Amino acid sequence: MQTYAKKRLEIIVEAPIQERLTALLDRLAVTGYTVLPALAGRGHSGEWSREGLVGGAGRMIVIVCLLDAERVDSVLEAVFSMVSRRTGIVSICDVQVVRPEHF
């Protein structure tokens, strides 16, 4: 089966900025993304879990989107300017897709 190279942008960030971040992706014409709950993890500050949290403070989410390589720098720059002063991680990796017209 034919596959096509794309870039996967993954953003793990505090839940309260989800709406602002997805609105930014919309303004940048990112054609699709998925938002997932982050349940628990370990980082440089130690272990964390959303168990027992009330409200959005302290909860983390994951936003995943696939992009053409040519768009990564402009999207990454805008995303990083929003999340750089917050708890979170931004990563990029190479992926292969079977329907390139969706991205």
Least confident of 5-14, 24-33, 45-54, 61-70: 45-54
With bands split at pLDDT 50, 70 and 90, how would you rate the model's confidence at 69? very high
- Side-chain-side CA neighbours of 84 within 13 Å: the count stands at 7
* Domain extents in the chain: 4-102
pLDDT, residue 43, reads: 75
pLDDT, residue 45, reads: 72
What value does the mean pLDDT take over residues 25-36? Answer: 95
Give Dmax (Cα) for the chain: 47
Return the residue matching tokens 């995303």: 79
pTM of the model: 0.85
The residue count for the chain: 103
Angstrom distance (rounded) from CA 90 to CA 75? 12
Given a contact cutoff of 8 angstroms between Cβ atoms, the answer to whether 1 and 98 are in contact is: yes
Q: Are strands 40-43 and 34-38 parallel, antiparallel or unpaired?
A: unpaired
Of residues 30 and 58, more confidently modeled? 30
Angstrom distance (rounded) from CA 12 to CA 37? 9
Of residues 102 and 8, more confidently modeled? 8
For 36-50, write each residue's pLDDT tens digit: 998 888 777 777 676
Given a contact cutoff of 8 angstroms between Cβ atoms, the answer to whether 19 and 63 are in contact is: no
CATH topology of domain 4-102: Alpha-Beta Plaits (3.30.70)
